[in-house]
Chain A
Amino acid sequence: GENVEQHPSTLSVQEGDSAVIKCTYSDSASNYFPWYKQELGKRPQLIIDIRSNVGEKKDQRIAVTLNKTAKHFSLHITETQPEDSAVYFCAASIPTDKLIFGTGTRLQVFP
């Protein structure tokens, strides 16, 4: 079945800097890659997703890139702000099976 690895497990950045979180997946049939943000004590919420027919998607300060050949995808947050501090989960799915989540990255943005 699908396996998703996520790195790093923790990431600390200065406010205004960029943050990058990387995930790799094992099943080459995977074609849907969402990212969820979970603030402390809150529910996970979808922040952006990408499908395999595109290589990059951007939404304001957040972007996701996909490299199907290497089977990895990344979340990029530019101009980070303290409110970006949270745990971020990547996920991947093939069309016929359940969504598999990565282990999460705890992002801390210091003022």
Chain B
Amino acid sequence: DSGVTQTPKHLITATGQRVTLRCSPRSGDLSVYWYQQSLDQGLQFLIQYYNGEERAKGNILERFSAQQFPDLHSELNLSSLELGDSALYFCASSPLGGPQETQYFGPGTRLLVL
């Protein structure tokens, strides 16, 4: 158990809908990262937050948005969902958000868009 929690574990929804994925980082970690992993694919970096502020952006679609709240939990919002958005979404956290820190991954949220 990494100490990073994600909810829900599974999510099934329809095309065009909007969903929110939630992540709580390890106690004491200030930075949160979001990754998308499609079937048999690598880890695609979406976005990083540090202490409430966006720090780095990856290949995140305009239909996706995220935020980190004062209590440091983070939410990833996916809207106008398409079939291709079906994937495993991981959240990770690290103490200070430095690129050379170990990232601790949560168990992931499996999203299925029908």
Interface size class of B (residues with CB under 8 A): 10 to 19
Given contacts A43-B107, A45-B105, A101 and B42 within 8 Å (CB-CB): yes
A43 to B6 alpha-carbon distance, docked (Å): 11
Q: Which chain B residues in 24-76 approach chain A with CB under 8 Å?
A: 41-43, 45, 48, 56, 58
Interface size class of A (residues with CB under 8 A): 20 to 34
> In the complex the two chains form, is A99's CB within 8 Å of B99's CB?
yes
| Residue in B closest to A44 when the chains form the complex, CB atoms | B105
> In the complex the two chains form, is A44's CB within 8 Å of B43's CB?
yes
> In the complex the two chains form, is B100's CB within 8 Å of A43's CB?
no
Q: Name the A residues within 8 Å of B104 (CB-CB).
A: 46
> In the complex the two chains form, is B42's CB within 8 Å of A43's CB?
no
Q: Name the B residues within 8 Å of A42 (CB-CB).
A: 107
Given contacts A43-B2, A43-B90, A89-B43, A98 and B58 within 8 Å (CB-CB): yes
Label chain B's interface by main secondary structure.
loop
A23 to B56 alpha-carbon distance, docked (Å): 24
Q: Does B102 sit at the interface, judged by CB under 8 A?
A: yes
Q: Does A93 sit at the interface, judged by CB under 8 A?
A: yes
**Chain B proximity of A13: nearest CB distance (Å):** 20
Q: Does A81 sit at the interface, judged by CB under 8 A?
A: no
Give a binary string over A36-69; 1 marks a CB under 8 Å from any B CB, 0 the rest. Answer: 1000001111100101000000000000000000
Q: Does B79 sit at the interface, judged by CB under 8 A?
A: no
Given contacts A98-B45, A98-B58, A93 and B99 within 8 Å (CB-CB): yes
Residues of A within 8 A of B (CB): 31-32, 34, 36, 42-46, 49, 51, 89, 93-104
17 more contacts with CB within 8 A, not counting A46-B104, A97-B99, are: A34-B102, A36-B105, A43-B2, A43-B105, A43-B107, A43-B108, A44-B43, A46-B102, A89-B42, A94-B99, A95-B99, A95-B100, A96-B99, A98-B45, A98-B56, A101-B42, A103-B42
